[in-house]
Amino acid sequence: MPTTWRDAYGKDEVLQRIRPEHTTDFLNNPHKGTATFQRFNGDPLNEVLRWDLVGKDQPWVAPPDADKMESEGVQDWDMPHHADLHNDRYPPTRIAYCRWAWCLLEPQQGKLRFDIIDRALDRAAQRGQTLALRTQPQVAHYECPRWYWDLGAKHDPAASNPLWRVADHNDPLYLEHWGNHIRALGDHYDGHPNLESFDVAYGGGCGETGGNADCLTARRLVQIYIDSFPTTQLLTMLGTEGCSYAARQPDLKAGWRADCFGDVHTDGGSAVPNGLNWNHMNDMYPTALAECGVTDAWRTAPTVFESCWTVDYWHKHGWDIDWIIEQGLKYHISSFMPKSAYMPDEWMDKIMSFSQRMGYWLHLQQMILPLQARAGDLCTMTAVIDNKGVAPIYRPYAFALHFSQGKTHKVVRMREDIRHWMPGLSYISEAYRFPAGLSPGEAKVSCAIVDNADKPIVRLAIKARDTDGWHPLTSMDVLS
Residue 94: CA atoms inside 13 Å, Cβ hemisphere, count?
A: 19
CA 110 and chain centroid, separation: 30
Alpha-helical (H) ranges within 47-167 are 65-72, 102-105, 114-126, 146-150
- Among 339, 357, 375, give the residue marking a domain's end: 357
- Among 357, 383, 415, give the residue marking a domain's end: 357
CA distance linking residue 232 with residue 253, whole number of Å:
10
Domain identity same for 351 and 428 = no
CA distance linking residue 473 with residue 367, whole number of Å:
9
Q: How many separate domains does the chain show?
A: 2
Domain identity same for 340 and 214 = yes
Number of Cβ atoms within 10 Å of the Cβ of 433: 12
Per-residue pLDDT of the chain (480 residues; tens, 9 = 90+): 567 899 999 999 999 999 999 999 999 999 999 999 988 999 888 875 554 444 444 444 444 555 555 556 665 667 778 888 888 899 999 999 999 999 999 999 999 999 999 999 999 999 999 999 999 999 877 899 999 999 999 999 898 888 889 999 999 999 999 999 999 999 999 999 999 999 999 999 889 999 999 999 999 999 999 999 999 999 999 999 999 999 999 999 999 999 999 999 988 888 999 888 889 999 999 999 999 999 999 999 999 999 999 999 999 999 999 999 999 999 999 999 999 999 999 999 999 999 999 999 999 999 999 999 999 999 999 999 999 999 999 999 999 999 999 999 999 999 999 999 999 999 999 999 999 999 999 999 999 999 999 999 999 999 999 999 999 999 999 999
Domain identity same for 130 and 241 = yes
- Among 323, 357, 391, give the residue marking a domain's end: 357
**CATH code (residue 203):** 3.20.20
Domain identity same for 391 and 306 = no
Closest among 301, 476, 313 to 401, alpha carbons compared: 476
Domain identity same for 370 and 353 = no
Closest among 198, 283, 293, 280 to 243, alpha carbons compared: 293
Domain identity same for 239 and 156 = yes
Domain identity same for 199 and 93 = yes
Domain identity same for 195 and 66 = yes
Domain identity same for 316 and 404 = no
Residues with Cβ within 8 Å of residue 149, at least 6 apart in sequence: 143, 165
Closest among 430, 423, 433, 441 to 478, alpha carbons compared: 441
User: What is the model's pTM?
Assistant: 0.92
Domain identity same for 268 and 407 = no
Domain identity same for 17 and 93 = no
**CATH code (residue 15):** 2.60.40
Domain identity same for 188 and 126 = yes
Q: DSSP of 163-212, one letter per residue?
A: TB--B-TTSHHHHHHHHHHHHHHHHHHTT-TTEEEEEE--SSBTT-S-TT
Domain that holds residue 458: 5-25+362-479
